[in-house]
Structure 1
Amino acid sequence: MQIGLGHFTCLHLPPADLVRLARQAGFGFVGMRFHPVAPGLPHWLPSPAGQADLARVMAGEGIALYDIETVVIDAGLDPDMLGPALDAAAALGGQRVNCCADLFPGLTERFAHLCALAAERGLGVDIEPMRWRGVNTPAACLSLIAASGAPNAGYLVDTLHHHRCGGTPEEIVAMSAGVVRSAQVCDAPAATPETTEGLIAEARGGRLLPGDGGLPLRETLRAVPDGTVISVELPNAQDRRDDLTRARAIYAATKTLLENL
């Protein structure tokens, strides 16, 4: 089984360097951050010339693009402004767009519009719950998917967010066929942070290697459908190892987990 490396794991790296790192560490594909989670935050949408250079690096390294991250669907988002990111994802062979959402009037229509724009480019859209956002449970994600009527929409099983938002492995098993296409793996302490600030800090810089925490990773990954695409999203601000050493450790821990489900 191939394993992907999510950009958030090493967000300081430009896409071409991420691709090279992924290949050296053993990963088979990558995700890339082409859209910021908030204005002014890091993202790496390439220019047309940069996109051509990136395509050459990907071909040379044998590393594909699977998904792009992260679209926050809030009241201020105009999905039409995502055109350049969606175009770049499609041109580079990407398949999915990752998003999360707040609650506001018109959310369903906004989500459906994003899904339609993605579908025009042959892309799907995966939504994940986040405890501090309005769409903060697996059930809320599924309700939004159903209300949108978008056939290319899916539920993203992020092992941290799924469990911090009250999700269980059994809930994944009960999901309709075709809803789960993608999963992102990391570990974390069994105890949930008590504050919103703690939850955000953990998600953005406190994730652990598989096996170093207390999440039910094996049970969760046994629950996802066969053929689910598995990536690693593992930002950790405390890990001071060089990128390659860290990436190889992440790959080895994830591979061991998947081989022992």
Structure 2
Amino acid sequence: MAAVTSKSAPIIGVAHFSSILLPPVEFAKAAARAGFSRIGLRLHPAFPGAPYYELPVGGSVAGELKSVLAGEGVEVFDIEFFVIDPAFDASSLEATVAAAADIGARRLSVCGDDPDQSRLVSNFADLCRLSDRYGLAVDVENMGWRVTRTFRDSVSLVKASDARNAGALVDGVHFFRNGGTLASLRTEMRWVRHVQLCDVAGPAPVTPEEMIAEARGGRFAPGEGELPLKELVAAIGSSAAISVEVPLAGFASPEAHLKHLYDKAEGLFGPDR
């Protein structure tokens, strides 16, 4: 049964990485119980050895998931995660893109990690064209240890691709830790369609290893760190979808963790949201 929320409750999604060990069906159920209206799913490994799930079109698991989504009143918003590196081949991902469209997803998330900018732009544009055939958009997320390191880099890649379905994804830790400001966000807001909330505290990491450790295991729930997330939410307004991405750490159950994330994220919104 879907979670009951007030009519004024904000529409908030949650990334699969927040409880990645839950298979898609169980994740959808747990997210709905926590209050989330949207979910993201990992249908492709973010890095070698990373967990992910396959949902082939026409398969029983995909069918079960669609039934659960309808029953819980939850939708799939985005699919992660694709690294556009020198060996990237968009055509090899068509089955995953088709699977994403089959379960109603709207967007794919990628990062750019190819020092050859011409090839990076070409491969990103290829993925945008493939995704567009399935009614999906593609968002570039900047990461400090990747070639597409800053928010400005993400926007530059989107512009260079000249793809109508390309956008930039703003993730709290990657955006602020790599020089992003609220002023730069407001200037380029027309390119942003998805924002992921999370928090961090303390000095910014310097080495790639430290950045990776913070991104994958050092995030806090929204409002528990030092990032200006209330100001971020206010700057976004209704221009972009909002979700939460904070991996489960410690001994909390996935259900308790997701409920905590929803409650903390909801607290960032004003009464009129």
Q: Does 1:246 align with 2:246?
A: no
Q: Kindly report the root-mean-square deviation, in angstroms, between the aligned alpha carbons of the 2 structures.
A: 1.4
The CA deviation at 1:259 is 2.9
The CA deviation at 1:194 is 2.8
The answer for the alignment partner of 2:66 in structure 1 is 55
TM-score by length of 2: 0.91
Listed as ranges, the matches of 1:15-26 within 5 Å are 15-26=24-35
The answer for the alignment partner of 1:139 in structure 2 is 152
The CA deviation at 1:219 is 1.9
Distance 2:216 2:184 in 1: 25
Higher relative contact order (CA 8 A, sep 6+): 2
The answer for the alignment partner of 1:224 in structure 2 is 236
The CA deviation at 1:206 is 1.3
The CA deviation at 1:236 is 4.0
Percent sequence identity is: 39
Distance 1:176 1:213 in 2: 24
The CA deviation at 1:176 is 5.4
The answer for the alignment partner of 1:124 in structure 2 is 137
Q: Compare 138-147 and 11-20 and name the one that shifted more.
A: 138-147
Q: Does 1:14 align with 2:26?
A: no
The CA deviation at 1:82 is 1.1
4+ residue runs over 3 A deviation = none
The CA deviation at 1:85 is 1.3
Distance 1:176 1:5 in 2: 21
The CA deviation at 1:81 is 1.3
| SS of equivalent residue, structure 1 residue 127 | strand
The answer for the alignment partner of 1:69 in structure 2 is 80
Contact 2:36 2:262 in 1 (8 A): yes
The answer for the alignment partner of 1:188 in structure 2 is 200
| SS of equivalent residue, structure 2 residue 82 | strand
Give 5+ residue unaligned stretches, structure 2.
1-9
The answer for the alignment partner of 2:214 in structure 1 is 202
Contact 2:233 2:268 in 1 (8 A): no
TM-score by length of 1: 0.95
Q: Does 1:46 align with 2:55?
A: yes
Contact 1:34 1:44 in 2 (8 A): yes
| SS of equivalent residue, structure 2 residue 238 | coil
